[in-house]
Structure 1
Amino acid sequence: MRGERLDRLLARLGLGSRKEVARLVRGGRVRVAGEEVRDPGCHVPPGATVELDGKPLRVRRHHHVLLHKPAGYVTSRTEGPSVYALLEGFPTRDLSPVGRLDKDTEGLLLFTTHGELLHRLTHPRHKVAKRYLVHLLHPATEADRQAFAEGLVLEGERLLPALLAWGEDPTRVELTLLEGRFHQVKRMFAARGNRVLYLKRLALGPLGLEGLARGEARYLTPEEEAALYRAVGLWGEDAQG
């Protein structure tokens, strides 16, 4: 196999535009398979090591970026303020969001370059859990819990069963869904005569927000990537992140 062009690979790793990474290469700062290269258009053989200033780069086949989305940003490239403005240094051109969060919704938003992974994470057939913290205008009730567990009928269509839980304060609840329809959380509570005042996604499958402040983004760890692939049945088929 011929491999990927060096300048495109470096740009995909978030090291700059094609012109910017070309300057890095021409400056003698990049080595491929232990050899200094100065041609940005050379092709990197599959599996070859790539170093910048003597430090090995992790050559990712796919990118998976976790963002702790703050309120006030839209999940869109064409409208603003855009969540992509929070992904400086990442290969935003190739990243697609796994589902969307409303402008006033906070929390976990995953981006990926892996089309099949995105499909499996969002398709209800794979039943990937999405857990939310919800502040309500009125206290949740046992009737709400039962209705959600049975599969709420929304606009004539039955939803998948959802888990509703709370502690001492029933206006502060957690809701776990196995699908992600348009404005689903808000519409579910509206159908029960309630209103969502605050919404935050806490988890997507095995992923959480621990250690990630609002507005911060990072690559998934290898352990998180493996857990995510296993969650949707891709481990062993396409497990290289």
Structure 2
Amino acid sequence: MRLDKYLCSATELSRSLAKKLLHRGDVTCDGEVIKDPGFKVADHHLVCIDGEPVRPIGPRYLMLHKPADCVSSHVDDGHRSVLTFIDQPRREELVIVGRLDADTTGLLLLTSDGQWSHRITSPNSRCPKRYRVTLTDPLAPEQLAALKNGVMLHGESEPVAAEVEQIGSHTLWLTIAEGKYHQVKRMCAAVGNKVVGLHRHSIGRLALDPQLAPGEWRALTEEEIALF
């Protein structure tokens, strides 16, 4: 990798600022001052700025406990972006893996690895997502049966079903694999009820860390990354 590009990938420096540091002699490679922006950096090289080692930011895999009233988007459309909770450099480069509505809470994944993200979000993967759903009205037996057997959503060509487990008069666990637009809310509306609270508990075999309060995040472990 070119040295100027290496410096930019390891810091928040722009390409022009990286070149200024090089020309000033502030950058060393294995102890030798390097001023050539095109110098090729290998994995074994130790690059320093003013004597402090710098290394490129590697692939990042994060989980966030998304609170309500924020959007799963890089652009703020009147709500706070979920990226503002991530206190890391170059957070704007992170991909938000799937989306949650502004009023939906729970597990949200972010990564710099596009292929990993695609394995989760691709319709072909049919990655299950489990939600805790709170309804306006008590869930009637026929509504529960309809959700399990499949309901027809507007604009769809075939019924959509879900794994459903009732946990209270107004609450249930609902697991879907398709990930259609507003699917959980539309399914509940289709059986004559309304969602007033929606919380994503898990994606695939990865569940939200119960130690994370709303707005908190942590890096995934290697074992968690390997789940997808």
TM-score range, shorter chain: 0.7 to 0.9
Provide the C-alpha distance between the structure 1 equivalents of 2:159 and 2:34, rounded to a whole number of angstroms: 55
Superposed CA offset, 1:198-223 (max 9, x none) = 11111111222212221012221111
Contact 1:28-1:37 within 8 A present in 2 as well: no
Question: 1:218 is matched with which residue?
Answer: 218
For residue 125 of structure 1, give the secondary structure of its aligned residue in structure 2.
helix
For residue 87 of structure 2, give the secondary structure of its aligned residue in structure 1.
coil
Following superposition, the deviation at residue 104 of structure 1 comes to 0.8
Question: 1:69 is matched with which residue?
Answer: 66
Question: 1:189 is matched with which residue?
Answer: 188
Provide the C-alpha distance between the structure 1 equivalents of 2:141 and 2:48, rounded to a whole number of angstroms: 58
Counterpart of 1:74, as a letter, is V
Contact 1:5-1:43 within 8 A present in 2 as well: no
Matches within 5 A, 1:134-213: 134-155=133-154, 156-167=156-167, 169-210=168-209, 211-213=211-213
Provide the C-alpha distance between the structure 2 equivalents of 1:174 and 1:102, rounded to a whole number of angstroms: 18
Q: Percent of counterpart pairs with the same letter?
A: 34
Task: Quote the RMSD (CA, aligned, Å).
Answer: 3.4
Question: 1:235 is matched with which residue?
Answer: none
Provide the C-alpha distance between the structure 1 equivalents of 2:43 and 2:57, rounded to a whole number of angstroms: 10
Following superposition, the deviation at residue 47 of structure 1 comes to 6.8
Provide the C-alpha distance between the structure 2 equivalents of 1:199 and 1:9, rounded to a whole number of angstroms: 38
Superposed CA offset, 1:19-59 (max 9, x none) = 8x959x88999987xx3476595544247677998889685
Provide the C-alpha distance between the structure 1 equivalents of 2:159 and 2:41, rounded to a whole number of angstroms: 48
Provide the C-alpha distance between the structure 2 equivalents of 1:158 and 1:207, rounded to a whole number of angstroms: 29
- For structure 1, the residue ranges without an aligned partner over 5 or more in a row are 229-241
Length-normalised TM-score, structure 1 = 0.74
- For structure 2, the residue ranges without an aligned partner over 5 or more in a row are none
Contact 1:67-1:110 within 8 A present in 2 as well: yes
